[in-house]
Amino acid sequence: MKPNLIIHGAAGRMGRRLLALAVETGEFDLIAAVDRAEHPDIGTDAGLAAGIGEINVQLDSAFPATADIVIDFSLPEATEKVVDYCRDNNVALVTGTTGLDEGVIEKMGVVAERIAIVQASNMSVGMNVLFSLVGKVANMVGADYDIEIVEAHHRFKKDSPSGTALTLAENIAKETGRPWPGCLVHGREGKVVPRQAGTIGMHAIRGGDITGEHSVILSTLGETLKLSHSAHNRDNFVRGALRAAKWLVGRPAGLYSMADVLGL
């Protein structure tokens, strides 16, 4: 039998693509599409809102009595309600919502003693592979390779550098024994700013509608090695979340990462 799926944040940009791809894969039985009560699309067919035609599931502000799994891409202030619902009804949870409060993260840790949760601020499969590789590669090439990270995102992005670029840098720092975050150098400006050995340079480009580009550059005298990831659109996060959901159904209680999902 297919797992019963609830999408939370279903009227959002991620939620609509999740809904479309969850239906397209045919691997889930979508039983509810939940969003906030004030959303103008509440009461309309969720498939129409997602651009895939009618699916006979209406956008609703209430959760159904039970399900196998919830996928949540909403807002930090909405995620706690989802965690409570999953705890009270013994439902597994995949959440990709970013900017969660410490309190919600702590609660998730406690609730994960009773239900299975995957929480990840980046659900892209390719990026998670890169997360697990960068530190190893830095150690393989050795300390004489200067490491610089360049990321590019659309003009609307608020934070800089991206959380993903910081995770890449942190993973390198941890695996190579660099002080974190003391090894970071953000941009470079000035008449005399030579590169300091052991630092990780961090550079952010903002422009147009770039979805997300990250490059880790490892350069020494004579050669440069580049590890790059390009997100073409949001679907890479959505496909990662669906893969996590499929993996999670039937797992024992626990707080899992995308590295667990992918076996990295």
**Active centre residues (catalytic):** 153, 157
Mark the segment that binds ligand NAD (CB under 6 A) among 8-16, 172-180, 195-203, 207-215: 8-16
Quick one: residue 46, left, alpha or beta (phi over 0 = left, psi -120 to 50 = alpha)?
A: alpha
Helix residue ranges per DSSP H, 162-216: 163-176
Q: Which of 172, 187, 108 is nearest to 140 (CA)?
A: 172
Q: Is 167 in the site for ligand NAD (CB under 6 A)?
A: no
Q: Is 199 in the site for ligand NAD (CB under 6 A)?
A: no
Mark the segment that binds ligand NAD (CB under 6 A) among 69-77, 136-144, 166-174, 194-202: 69-77
List Cβ neighbours of 3 (8 Å cut-off, separation of 6 or more): 27, 28, 29, 68, 69, 245, 246, 249
- How far is Cα 62 from Cα 218, in angstroms, rounded to an integer? 50
Subset of 204-243 contacting ligand NAD (CB under 6 A): 237
* Member of 27, 36, 52, 199 binding ligand NAD (CB under 6 A): 36
Asked if residue 181 has a cis previous peptide bond (ω within 30° of 0), the answer is yes
Q: Is 75 in the site for ligand NAD (CB under 6 A)?
A: yes
- How far is Cα 24 from Cα 39, in angstroms, rounded to an integer? 25
State the nearest-atom distance from the C-beta of 100 to ligand NAD, in Å. Answer: 8
* Member of 121, 132, 199, 215 binding ligand NAD (CB under 6 A): 121
Tokens describing residue 225: 């090695």
**Distances in whole angstroms, Cα of residue 113 to Cα of each of 65, 84, 90, 224:** 21, 13, 11, 46
| Count of residues interacting with ligand NAD (CB under 6 A) | 23
Residue in this structure with the two tokens 């050995």, named with its chain if needed: 197
Residue placing its CB nearer to ligand NAD in the complex, 20 or 183: 20
Mark the segment that binds ligand NAD (CB under 6 A) among 91-99, 142-150, 168-176, 178-186: 91-99
Q: Is 122 in the site for ligand NAD (CB under 6 A)?
A: yes
Mark the segment that binds ligand NAD (CB under 6 A) among 35-43, 85-93, 107-115, 221-229: 35-43
Q: Is 131 in the site for ligand NAD (CB under 6 A)?
A: no
Residue placing its CB nearer to ligand NAD in the complex, 122 or 171: 122
- How far is Cα 262 from Cα 171, in angstroms, rounded to an integer? 17
Binding site for ligand NAD (CB under 6 A): 9, 11-15, 34-36, 39, 73-75, 78, 96-99, 120-123, 237
